[in-house]
Amino acid sequence: MMPTLTGRNTRTITGYVITLLDYPRYVIEREVDFTDCHLKGDFDEHDSQCTSCLFGEACCWLNLNRTPPRPDASLTELLQALSTAVKYIRSTRQDESPHPGHCECDRCQWLHEAMGFLRTRRHRA
Ligand SMILES: [Zn+2]
């Protein structure tokens, strides 16, 4: 056990994930359409309209991540939020025209970074 080293690493990784979560928050806030929402975007997991909603997953995410996570948020929570965000960003990327493998748009760049990070975490676990 090396508490000092572990603590420092965790803080750094946590800070990094918190930074990574800025982009999907911005995108989801801009893209999810609450015009027809009977709850005005206030996600309710027990509401059948919410669970079957086209924006349900993104809306649920946004309700959990509308404000930046506290610096003391657990890494597990942050990684969960990050992988859900990756799923959303991936699923919506094809909306416009297909992106080439080396695409340099914000979405692809973010996905590349976030997925690369999640992959390194998985190998370590
Ligand atoms: Zn792209």
Three-state secondary-structure class, residue 16: helix
CA of 82 to the centre of ligand 1 (A): 19
Ligand 1 center from residue 27 Cα (angstroms): 14
Cα 34 from Cα 41, distance rounded (Å): 6
Span from the CA of 96 to the centroid of ligand 1 (angstroms): 10
> Is this prediction's pTM over 0.85?
no
Copy the structure tokens of residue 99.
């992106």
Q: How many CA atoms lie within 13 A of 67 on its CB side?
A: 3
In angstroms, the CA 45 to CA 6 distance is 36
Gap from CA of 113 to ligand 1 centroid (Å): 13
DSSP letter (8 states) at residue 21: T
What mean pLDDT is reported for the chain? 85
Look at residue 12 in the predicted model and tell me its pLDDT: 75
Ligand 1 mean position, distance from CA 94 (Å): 9
Residue 4: the pLDDT is 41
Cα(112)–Cα(37) distance, rounded to whole angstroms? 32
